[in-house]
Each structure stands twice: as structure tokens, then as C-alpha cells.
Structure 1
Amino acid sequence: MSNQSDLKTIGFTPFLYNSDQAYFNVRSGIHIIDALSQSSDLLSLAKSFAEDAAFNRDTDRHAWAAHYLTLMGKALIDDVIQALMPRPARTKTESEAEMPESL
């Protein structure tokens, strides 16, 4: 297994959808430590906006800000989890197994 400090996001996780199409995906190649740090910052801001939304009933802008920041933070964490999960070794498909090795 690779050193965890060398692991990077895989760029798999989408977030913020329109119907069934994602507007954004986490970018691949970000060190997982940096991704987790950024996620912590996003979720901290979301927490602050959620608290503001609970006390300020005149507008919902704080709640929407918290919602979007939470989506981004969660996507980063989900992508880090994908990078940390061991992936099964790829085996040849039936058609690849029948091909000669010289190709």
C-alpha cells in the first residue's frame, strides 16, 4: 500500500446536481491531507452559517450558504474515502485472456 501522505483524490465524487447531471466534481490529484483540511474549513463555515440561519429568520441566505458549503465539504471527504479504500486488483476479462500476450 502507498504511503498515505502520497495519496491523492481520485476525482470521482460529483456534487450539486441539475436533474441527474452533476455541475461539479472533485478534482483529482489533490493530496488527501489538503482535501481534508479544505473540507474542515468548508464545514466550519457551514456550521457558522447554519447557526446564523437558526437565529436570523428574515432571510434564508445563510441556510443556502451552509447547504452549498456542506455539499462541497462532503464531496471532498467522500473522494478522500475512495482514495483510501483498497481497490481490487484488475483481472483480465474473458476476451483479454484469450488474446496472445504479444499484443
Structure 2
Amino acid sequence: MTTSIKTIGIVTFADCGEKEQSLFRVNPDIPVQEALEHASNLFYYAKKLMLDAAMEKQGERYAWPAYYLCEMGKAVVDDVSSSIPSSR
């Protein structure tokens, strides 16, 4: 019997405020394949923005959107990594 691995929803991101509280969390029960596809899209667009930032005269305006896209993608990947059983 094959068990479908899904996100577990423990990873938070977008810390803000004086208390550095997380504003967002990865939702649980998302199939891993779908979560990774979404993370891949987030990283793809972050890469595009970073290239624009490097090539444009006033490219710094692309830095924050790229940062947030990377933060979201990393949260998804970290949550997926936490949901995969260890082989130890």
C-alpha cells in the first residue's frame, strides 16, 4: 500500500513586527508533488526578478519581491523535507 506524502504545515515564514512573529504558514495536507511544483514556480519568478535586478540601472526595486518569493519557496521545500520519513 502506497502512502501519499503531504505537507505537514509546520513551517512558518514572513516574520514581522517587534516580536518577529510569523505572518504565514505552509498549509498541511498538500500533496508533495503539487507543493514542489508551486515552489519551483516561485523560485523561477524569483530568478527572473533577480536577473532584472542585476541588469537594470535601478534594479533594486526587484530585490524585495525576489526575496519574498524565495522565502515562500524555501518554506514549502522545508515543510516537504520535514514530511518525508527519515531512512535512519
Alignment match, 1:39: 39
1:75 positional shift: 0.3
Alignment match, 2:26: 26
Kindly name which structure, 1 or 2, has the bigger radius of gyration based on alpha carbons. Answer: 1
Percent identity for Structure 1 against Structure 2: 38
How high is the TM-score relative to the length of structure 1?
Answer: 0.75
Letter in 2 for 1:10: I
Alignment match, 2:82: 82
2:73 counterpart SS class: helix
Report the RMSD for the aligned CA atoms in angstroms. Answer: 1.6
Higher relative contact order (CA 8 A, sep 6+): 2
After superposing on structure 2, the runs of 4+ consecutive aligned residues of structure 1 that deviate more than 2 Å are none
Alignment match, 1:16: 14
How high is the TM-score relative to the length of structure 2?
Answer: 0.87
Q: Could you list the runs of 5+ residues in structure 1 that have no partner in the other structure? A: 87-103
Alignment of 1:63-78 (within 5 A): 63-78=63-78
